[in-house]
Each structure stands twice: as C-alpha cells, then as structure tokens.
A and B are shown apart, each in its own frame.
Chain A
Amino acid sequence: MAHVKVVDVAARACLVEVEDAVAAAALAAWVRAVGLPAEEVVPAARTVLLDGVDPVAAREALRRWATDDVTRPAPLVRLPVHYSGPDLARVADHWGCTTREVVDLHTSLEFTSAFCGFAPGFAYLAGLPLERAVPRLASPRTRVAPGSVGLADTWCGVYPTASPGGWLLIGTTDAELWDVDRARPALLAPGTRVRFEAAR
C-alpha cells in the first residue's frame, strides 16, 4: 500500500500528503475514479486537498489506494510549438547547449500535468530532469501572451491567458488551453500526458 498521511484541514476538508506532484495527480485521479464523494479534489506539489468531504470516509477509502493503481492510462496531448521564445538563448546558456538542442530535448520528453494553479487552466507540467532546472526571471514580465511556453525550476507551463509571468519563455503554441464552453475546459487537466512538437 502506498504511504499517505492525512492531515485535517477543517470539519469537512483534509489534505493527503504524498511524495511528489506526479503521485498527487495520480491519487487525485484515483479519488475521482473510485467516486469518493468530495466537492473538490485538488492535487498540488506534494498533497491532494479533499474539500467538502467526510474526513472519516476519506481516510477509510484511502486505505485502498495501492501504488499499482497509479498506472492507469492517461490521455496524451500533443502541442505544436513555435520555438521562438525570447528566453530560448537564456535557457540554452543555463543548459550549456545550443538553442537547437533545447528544442530537441524539450520535444523528446514526456511531461505530466501535475496540477493547475496560478490561473484557470495553467498546468504545472512535470518531466524536466532535475539537472535542467532553470531560475525564474529576476523581475517578471508584466504581460505574457497566451500560448507562451515557459520553464521555471523543473516545471514547464503554457500560459492559457495573458498574464504577468516570470517563467523563461521558449516558444508559443496556438492550442486553445482554456475554454469554459468546452466539456473539458482545461486542455491540460491534472494527469494529462503532454508532448511538445516543433511546429512547421
């Protein structure tokens, strides 16, 4: 059985602690799959918040969460990217490689949407190796265009709407990341697997 610790938050809310963001996304998917009654299931970097839930029932259900349950197939989204971001050379500097190699590496990895936050539909995509971690800008841009693909720490993210932002921008995609009129408003909901492709 996977190790989880459950921490009380309020009368009808608890936090489930797991080892990392990918485990949190998997646990959140599992909680939805087993139909545990909860108003909100919010995965984050190392926790899953269960809000609007009976904490006793939640603790009981979580005993059935086994590690082998995490391997259920997740949808895969392919995102075409124009690799022409203003920080592409800066990322190449950090990685000690050419901008071409930045593109090659970024398109070779499979990312997993671990959790959303910051703005509706903004997904924190896990999958960049630790040695490829990059810092945020010392002073964030006041406006980042929608569709911008950025890196920060070991995260990759795509800005769904225009907003301020401090991530290093390597390119842009034309994909519609957030649309409230779709049945699935966020293209990169937690658990989604993501591959980037160089757009022609």
Chain B
Amino acid sequence: MTAGGDVEVVDPGPLSTVQDLGRRGWAHLGVPRAGALDRGAAALARRLVGGRPDDAVVETTVGGIVLRPRRAVTLAVTGAPCTVRVGARAVPHSAAVTVPGGAVVTVGPATTGVRSYVAFNGGIAVTPVLGSRSTDTLAWVGPPRLAAGDVLALGSTGPLPEAPAAVVVRPRDPVLRLRRGPRAEWLDDDGWRRLEGASYAVAPDSDRIGLRLTGPPILRRGGELASEGIVHGAVQLPPSGQPVVFLADHPTTGGYPVVAVVEDDDLDLCAQLRPGDEVLLRLG
C-alpha cells in the first residue's frame, strides 16, 4: 500500500480487506459490487469515529488483525464480537478509542460471528479503483488483501462525534426471510413446502462470494437456463438442491435458476454465519 502511511499492518489474520459501500455501475463488465459484507456493522464503526457513510474500513475474517498506528488515531471495532487490546490493555468493542502512535492494536479472533470491522477517523485512503476502495475477492478488482508490512494511509481527519450514550447490538435470530425470485417456477409446490421452515447448515466453503447451505435437498425441475444477471441476496439452486445465497462478491451473471431472494434486511446476518451454524429459511 502506501510507504508514508499512518497505520501499519502487523498481522493481517486469515483474510483482511479494505471495504467501503462497494462498486456501482460496473456489473455489465463483469465486475462484482464488493463492499462491507455486514453493512450495518461497518456503518456503525464509521459513525463511531465520525466518518462519512462511504469511508473505507477494514473487514476481518474470523481471526482478527494486528495493527500499529504510526501516529495517534481514533478507531472503532464493530461487527463480530472479539477482544480489542491496545498494547496489553483491553478496550471496549463498538466504541471509539483513541490510540497513541506506536501502540499495537490487537483485534482478537471473533468469539461468535465471522467479520469484525475497524474504522478510523478519516477513513482509509487507498486509491479507489472504478470508484470504490473495496476489494472484491472474486476477480480481485480493487486493493489487494492486506498483508503484513502494508501501511495504510488515512484520509483527512474530521471532527469526532459526541459519543453515543449507548450502542446496543442485538444478536440476530438465525433466520433468513426469502421472497420468491425470478425463477420461482422452477420449484413446484412441494419444493416450496420443503423450503419453508427448513433448517440448513452453513457449509465450510462459504465466503464473500456466497453463503453455501447444506441440508435437505430441494429438487427443482430439470433443464438449462441461459446465464442471466444476478442480484445481491439471490438464492441459486444448482442441480444438487443445496441453495447458495449470493453475497457482495458474487459473479455478475450465472446460469442456475434464482428461485428466491433473501430480504435485504437479512443480508448482514449472512456475513456473520459461521460454517456449521444452523439457519432457518422462512418464506416472506
């Protein structure tokens, strides 16, 4: 990243990326949208440090991240709960924390959920690619994943907001509400009955591209569908009958029928489901 930057990446953990609201307007060229997967958690982090709504933040994956600011910075960690330490001292999660230059900030492994967010006052000032600072992990458009030794530059520092009285992050029920999708007719009545109230386990190969579910196979009618454009939250049903929910880095077109679409409000939950977690499907 930048040589003369403000925050050094000491240990990026299993996968840490820079994310903002994502790239709009390039899907027709095959460019995924990307952007923070848990949009609510990222928005809270930005708000806590007085950021703009599209400021870039760091998104971690299960294992956390270790950072060392080179000057005093204000940051906030939100999303998946984890211990946050400045040096040896524990500091609160979901709160703005001012850290002196040279201190080591350890965002610990997620105790539940998957993705924690680290926002800095000023935002992360990596160079935008096609209008966004987000890393897309399908085609790797945007800045590369964070690596040890990277130094992130921060944008111009704005005034810090007054701290909110209390931040209450309620745990979400593991329920995904579905609405009928554009290819709903590929499922017969029996298929829809099997989907309603069904419990699925999150598969280990779930990632920013898709939440893969394993459970009772939902059989759809046979045949081939020509590739068509896909939206965030689309539920694709391959012949295996194991649904895939397309998340921010999904391919822009696909050839399996989209029988249902996850309600927008439930997409943040998809960002925090771990392999092995059970999730209930409900038809809206």
| Interface pair B139/A120, CB less than 8 Å apart | yes
**Do B30 and A10 touch (CB < 8 A)?**
no
Q: Once the chains are docked, how many angstroms separate the CA of A41 from the CA of B31? A: 12
Within 8 A of A (CB), among B152-187: 179, 181-182
Taking a contact as CB atoms under 8 Å apart, the answer to whether A116 and B28 are in contact is yes
Interface size class of B (residues with CB under 8 A): 20 to 34
- Which of A10, A46, A49, A120 lies in contact with B29, CB distance below 8 A? A120
A-B contact pairs, 22 of them (CB 8 A): A8-B182, A9-B231, A9-B258, A10-B181, A10-B261, A11-B264, A40-B24, A40-B25, A40-B27, A43-B229, A45-B226, A45-B227, A45-B228, A47-B228, A116-B30, A117-B251, A117-B252, A119-B139, A122-B30, A185-B26, A185-B130, A189-B29
Contacts A42-B229, A45-B227, A47-B228 given: A119-B30 contact, CB under 8 Å?
yes
Supplied contacts A10-B264, A40-B229, A120-B26, 6 more A-B pairs, CB within 8 Å: A10-B233, A40-B24, A48-B229, A180-B129, A185-B26, A186-B30
Task: Give min CB distance, B236 to chain A, whole Å.
Answer: 13
Whether a CB of chain A sits under 8 angstroms from the CB of B86 is: no
Q: Is A171's CB within 8 Å of the partner chain B?
A: no
A161 to nearest B CB, angstroms? 8
User: Considering only CB atoms, which chain A residue lies closest to B229 in the complex?
Assistant: A49
- Other-chain residue from B25, B130, B181, B230 in contact with A39 (beta carbon distance below 8 A): B25
Interface residues of B: mostly helix, strand, loop or mixed? loop
Q: How far is the CA of A15 from the CA of B230 in the complex (A)?
A: 9
Interchain CB contact under 8 A, A117 and B30: yes
Mask of A7-21 contacts with B, CB within 8 angstroms, 1/0 = 111110111000000
| Chain A residues engaging chain B, CB cutoff 8 angstroms | 7-11, 13-15, 28, 39-49, 51-52, 115-122, 180, 185-186, 189-190
Complex-state Cα separation, A11 to B182, whole angstroms: 12
Q: How far is the CB of A93 from chain B (nearest CB, A)?
A: 26
Other-chain residue from A9, A52, A117 in contact with B227 (beta carbon distance below 8 A) = A117
Judge if B99 is at the interface, Cβ distance under 8 Å.
no
A49–B141 CB distance below 8 A? no
B253 contacts chain A at the CB level, 8 A cutoff: yes
- Residues on the A chain within 8 Å of B30, using CB: 116-122, 186
CB distance from B270 to the nearest CB of A (A): 15
Task: Please determine whether A47 and B25 come into contact, CB atoms closer than 8 angstroms.
Answer: no
**Which residues on the B side are within 8 Å of A39 (C-beta)?**
24-25
Most buried by B among A44, A117, A121: A117
Q: Quick one: which of B16-36 are within 8 Å of A by CB?
A: 24-31
